[in-house]
Amino acid sequence: MSKHPPSMRDVARRAGVSLSTVSRVMRGVPGVAPAVRERVQEAAAELSYVVSRNASGLVTGRTGRVAVLVPFLQPWFFGSVLAGISDGLQRAGLDMLVYQVGELRRQPGWTSALPLRRNSDAVITVAMDLSAEECGRLDEVGVPLVLTGQCLPGRAGVFIDDRQGAAKATRHLLNLGHTRVAYIGSEGGSWRGRSSRNRLEGFQSTMVDAGLAEWSVLSTPDHRGGELAMGELLSDHRPPTAVLTEFDDIAMGAHRTLRRSGIPVPGAISLMGFDNHEAAAVLDLTTVDQSPRAIGASAADLTVKILAGEDPPDRHVEMPTRLILRQSTSAPLLSE
Amino acid sequence: MSKHPPSMRDVARRAGVSLSTVSRVMRGVPGVAPAVRERVQEAAAELSYVVSRNASGLVTGRTGRVAVLVPFLQPWFFGSVLAGISDGLQRAGLDMLVYQVGELRRQPGWTSALPLRRNSDAVITVAMDLSAEECGRLDEVGVPLVLTGQCLPGRAGVFIDDRQGAAKATRHLLNLGHTRVAYIGSEGGSWRGRSSRNRLEGFQSTMVDAGLAEWSVLSTPDHRGGELAMGELLSDHRPPTAVLTEFDDIAMGAHRTLRRSGIPVPGAISLMGFDNHEAAAVLDLTTVDQSPRAIGASAADLTVKILAGEDPPDRHVEMPTRLILRQSTSAPLLSE
DNA sequence: AAATCTGTTGAAAACGTTGCCATAGCGGAC
DNA sequence: GTCCGCTATGGCAACGTTTTCAACAGATTT
């Protein structure tokens, strides 16, 4: 066995045909005699040869790769979206390049620091909350751009209606009979800008529509922040009977504070999250599901369609949110 | 602006130099006059040109990409390891290709279904628990292989001592004074084969060394399984006073069962997990930390070193485990 | 029997980059 | 003033594919 990986030429020699024929077989294009085709496939298998995307990309102009941009990789949410994207791309025979741009993003020209230009066929962003200007810079790369977790006019994207999701959650609490409902949101600076605002608005407008005072506090975007914010709410002279949080991590922090304070959930205080974190089930946390994996899969499908040239009519895919009822919400105590 | 991405030729024309010079500048090799160098960089910036890895890889034989193989993408653990790998690779200017091979793996020849051959410079596996045979097949690809989460003789890898970690956890419980300690492990079929066995062995040997009966039950590898297994333990005629689980998800399920049964933790039963799941902090779960992000970063560094040709003496990196003491463990009740 | 057509195959020119070799300058030593 | 050595630059052949076009055989038509 030669020490260098086999090339198409090696396969051609082994099968006793020309380069062109091997190329045709490998791409599965018609116009090759069945006997020859089989012989070539056999030779390729024996050498365990695979086509070099590098070389083929050079001439076709396609790399067979899609770049996925995520702010961070650690939070569970991104793993789920990536899983969906991976599924979709794999089905289409595309590879997935993942770039974690959290740190990088502070630099003004970060978009050109990424070797996207000739190295991927499309770019999918995951919950990046891009500004119009950043989008424009990515456009310059010259490949299709598909957004996830945000909705920008005229741009392909997959997203949920955060506003409606939060409204749904709020209404659930109101329907149970709560009137003193507080909201814990994350303060700016996190990677969820627009989505954050939308959820807050969904809460606020529902409260206002119901003729109730809207009441919200801010926290850092992690469970630690939820703990502190909950403590703050408990120190109010009339604490809320129900609390909605911007996402599950915050709710989980709040849950901890309640548990430590010996306040029964949902007995004294009903608690709701948002996202359906994998750990939410364990905490029996009522929440709003947004199935990130489906979002990812949908984004991948959209990308594949765009790459195939079939410009789909609905370049905006809105994924549904579902209320997941668990044991952390109930009607308020009658004494109230 | 031309509709096609700029090539090195365009930059050369704009800067009034030859292709070779541009190539030298882009690669940062010495032997170019400072004035010319600056002029070329300027021209490249104006065209927002980036080198095509496709083309350069074709001649250098290096792709500038590393393939990362994970069984699944969804569980939090993989996101963390990927984050670490991404950090390390980014620092070295390498791109990260991610392949989710969970489903694919059932097929016997799955390793050749991946376009690794000429498309990546190295392969990192994450908690794949590969057999020697599978490793051999990946060797055939002809690129360095770095394992993560498993230790195979003669192979580069980063891992933790699962056995010792479990032993450490068990000893913690014994030191608290517990004598009836049960272990909930996952039954086979999950992606954690060797690691699973090692943790069990660590528990068993520590118990035996202490002259105590080892007592373990199996569950499915998720929190659901933990719930059921805990229920099973509670129905014993003399339930345990402490429970160690193979990993945090199981512990979180067990915690739920305890909470629902009104059994105080750690009052009546002490509970321990393993892994330091991001949600473990919220549950106040005592656990064993294995900082997956550091594992990933370490694997990436190792890979970069191997690619640089400097064969590091310690191709086996053992990462430390740390006991994280929280509020889910305490001494058993005196009445026992 | 000549002409046309159809289906298969091979030869050669791209693609965008890097590596090697040649060459043009230019300063200093003889 | 010639020769040497040095540095900065350009030219050209790779790299491994795809693509276009031409060539060829055999079958069918005229």
Q: Does A113 reach chain B within 8 Å, measured CB to CB?
A: no
pLDDT band at A318 (very low <50, low <70, confident <90, very high): very high
d(CA B191, CA B196): 9
Give B117 or A287, the one with higher predicted confidence. Answer: A287
Contact B282 A279 (CB under 8 A): yes
Q: Does A57 reach chain B within 8 Å, measured CB to CB?
A: yes
CA A270, C1' C11: Å apart?
A: 77
- For domain B65-160+292-319, the CATH class is alpha beta
Q: What is the mean pLDDT of residues A161-174?
A: 94
Q: What is the predicted pLDDT for the residue at A2?
A: 44
Q: What is the mean pLDDT of residues A12-38?
A: 92
Q: Please write the tens of the pLDDT for every residue from A206-260.
A: 999 989 888 888 888 888 899 999 999 999 888 899 999 999 999 999 999 998 8
d(CA A336, CA A330): 14
Residue B118: which nucleotide is closest by CA–C1'?
D16
A162-290 architecture in CATH? Answer: 3-Layer(aba) Sandwich (3.40)
Q: What is the mean pLDDT of residues A132-143?
A: 85
- Measured from the CB, is B60 under 7 Å from any atom of strand C? yes
Q: Does A281 reach chain B within 8 Å, measured CB to CB?
A: yes
Instruction: Work out the minimum CA distance from B167 to partner chain A, whole angstroms.
Output: 26
Q: What is the predicted pLDDT for the residue at B102?
A: 85
Residue-range domain boundaries for chain B: 8-51, 65-160+292-319, 162-290
Q: What is the predicted pLDDT for the residue at A18?
A: 92
Q: Please write the tens of the pLDDT for every residue from B134-154.
A: 898 888 778 899 999 888 888
Q: Does B82 reach chain A within 8 Å, measured CB to CB?
A: yes
Q: Please write the tens of the pLDDT for every residue from B46-81.
A: 888 889 988 999 999 889 999 999 999 999 999 999
Q: Please write the tens of the pLDDT for every residue from A177-203.
A: 999 999 999 886 566 678 888 999 999
Q: Please write the tens of the pLDDT for every residue from A245-279.
A: 999 999 999 999 998 888 988 889 999 999 999 88
Q: Does A115 reach chain B within 8 Å, measured CB to CB?
A: yes
pLDDT band at B336 (very low <50, low <70, confident <90, very high): very low
Return contacts of B38-45, CB within 8 angstroms, 24+ apart.
B39/B15, B40/B11, B40/B15, B42/B15, B43/B11, B43/B14, B43/B15, B44/B11
Q: Is the pLDDT of residue B303 over 70?
A: yes
Chain A nearest-CA residue for B111: A48
Q: What is the predicted pLDDT for the residue at A1?
A: 42
Nearest one of B249, B239, B316 to B283, comparing CA atoms = B249
Average pLDDT, chain B: 89
Q: What is the predicted pLDDT for the residue at B189?
A: 59
Residue A10: which nucleotide is closest by CA–C1'?
D16
Q: What is the predicted pLDDT for the residue at B192?
A: 67
Q: Is the pLDDT of residue A336 over 60?
A: no
Per CA to C1' distance, which residue is closest to C16?
B55
Of the listed ranges A169-173, A195-199, B189-193, the least confidently predicted one is: B189-193
CA separation, residue B37 to residues B22, B23, B42, B48, B126 (Å): 8, 11, 9, 16, 42
Q: What is the predicted pLDDT for the residue at B276?
A: 93
Average pLDDT, chain A: 89
- Intrachain domains A8-51 and A162-290 with the same fold: no
SS (HEC) of chain A:
CCCCCCCHHHHHHHHCCCHHHHHHHHHCCCCCCHHHHHHHHHHHHHCCCCCCHHHHHHHHCCCCEEEEEECCCCCHHHHHHHHHHHHHHHHCCCEEEEEECCCHHHCCCHHHHCCCCCCCCEEEEECCCCCHHHHHHHHCCCCCEEEECCCCCCCCEEEECHHHHHHHHHHHHHHCCCCCEEEEEECCCCCCCHHHHHHHHHHHHHHHHCCCCCCEEEECCCHHHHHHHHHHHHCCCCCCCEEEECCHHHHHHHHHHHHHHCCCCCCCCEEECCECCCCCCCCCCEEEECCHHHHHHHHHHHHHHHHCCCCCCCCEEEECCEEECCCCCCCCCCCC
Contact B63 A75 (CB under 8 A): no
Q: What is the predicted pLDDT for the residue at B272?
A: 96
Q: What is the predicted pLDDT for the residue at B311?
A: 75
Taking CB atoms and an 8 Å cut-off, how many pairs form between chains A and B? 168
Give A140 or B210, the one with higher predicted confidence. Answer: B210
Q: What is the mean pLDDT of residues A38-63?
A: 91
The CATH number that domain A8-51 falls under is 1.10.260.40
> Residues of A with CB below 8 A from B251's CB?
none
Best residue of A68, A72, A98 to probe chain B, by most B CBs closer than 10 Å: A98
CA A20, C1' D22: Å apart?
A: 14
Q: Does A55 reach chain B within 8 Å, measured CB to CB?
A: yes
pLDDT band at B2 (very low <50, low <70, confident <90, very high): very low
